[in-house]
């Protein structure tokens, strides 16, 4: 969500937890930096972001996302003027004290992690933010699907999906068709491996 907003607002958001640069990284010679404050998206830079996720369970993901505006979808590539209507910012935290610290220290930052204590601010882009007392959210939503990635698969992992969901079957067969049309196609297919 943070990177979607960065693309929509043409703003590079500050890094939330960066304090001490690693001395082994050649920051100056490699022309590397970490955003410590919100800054405008460079006019000469492509509207593209990358998001990495590395979990303790071994599920790794890397997302590359271009702005909708770079495809002439959803608006102009020209940065918008200050919002003329109020916008809702929602903040989450594990305790009231940490929520107060978060809302104090990161007034321009949106933390979208689903934690039990919440607060919010309605802004119009000109006034300072005011936050009500933290409240605890209700029960967590029911988790309906988890794909843990590396290490948790076993023979027959997708059997039930293949047997019960035609869209899953269609996707597997479409991927098999792509593989079969490669210049050097594999001697196997995903559907066959699933059944084996």
> Token pair for residue 147?
């794909």
**Where in the chain are the domains?**
2-71, 87-136, 159-195
The conformation of residue 39, written as its DSSP 8-state character, comes to: E
88: Cβ contacts below 8 Å, ≥ 6 apart: 120, 121, 122
What is the average pLDDT across 74-82?
48
Q: Is 90 exceeded by the pLDDT of residue 158? A: no
pLDDT of 75 strictly over 70: no
Which structure tokens are listed for 135?
A: 């409240």
Entry pTM: 0.38
Q: Check residue 81 and give its pLDDT.
A: 44
Long-range contacts of 147-152 (CB under 8 A, 24+ apart): 147/59, 148/55, 148/57, 148/58, 148/59, 149/55, 149/57, 149/58, 149/59, 149/60, 149/61, 150/58, 150/59, 150/60, 151/57, 151/58, 152/57, 152/58
Are the CB atoms for 137 and 117 separated by under 8 Å?
yes
| pLDDT on residue 108 | 43
In Å, how far are 23, 24, 25, 31, 33 from 28, measured between CA atoms?
11, 12, 9, 5, 8
For residues 72 and 66, is the Cβ–Cβ distance under 8 A? Answer: no
At 73 the pLDDT is 65
**Angstrom distance (rounded) from CA 181 to CA 166:** 23
Q: Could you tell me the pLDDT band of residue 177, with boundaries at 50, 70 and 90?
A: very high
Q: How far apart are the first and last CA of the chain?
A: 39
- Best-predicted range by mean pLDDT among 52-61, 82-91, 108-117? 52-61
Q: What are phi and psi of 53, to 5 degrees?
A: -140, 120
Mean pLDDT to the nearest integer, 84-105: 75
């Amino acid at each position: 969500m943070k990177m979607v907003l960065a693309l929509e607002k043409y703003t590079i958001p500050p890094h939330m937890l960066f304090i001490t640069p690693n001395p082994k990284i050649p920051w100056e010679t490699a022309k590397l930096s970490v955003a410590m404050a919100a800054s405008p998206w460079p006019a000469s830079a492509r509207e593209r972001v990358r998001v990495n996720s590395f979990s303790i369970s071994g599920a790794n993901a890397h997302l590359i996302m271009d702005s909708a505006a770079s495809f002439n979808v959803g608006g102009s590539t020209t940065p918008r003027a200050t919002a003329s209507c109020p916008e809702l910012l929602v903040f989450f935290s594990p305790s009231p004290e940490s929520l107060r610290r978060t809302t104090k220290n990161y007034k321009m930052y949106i933390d979208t992690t689903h934690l039990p204590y919440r607060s919010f601010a309605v802004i119009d882009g000109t006034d300072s933010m005011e936050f009500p007392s933290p409240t605890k959210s209700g029960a967590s939503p029911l988790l309906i699907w988890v794909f843990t990635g590396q290490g948790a698969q076993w023979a027959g992992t997708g059997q039930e999906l293949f047997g019960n969901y035609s869209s899953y079957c269609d996707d597997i067969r479409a991927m098999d068709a792509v593989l079969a049309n490669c210049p050097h196609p594999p001697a196997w297919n995903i559907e066959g491996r699933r059944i084996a």
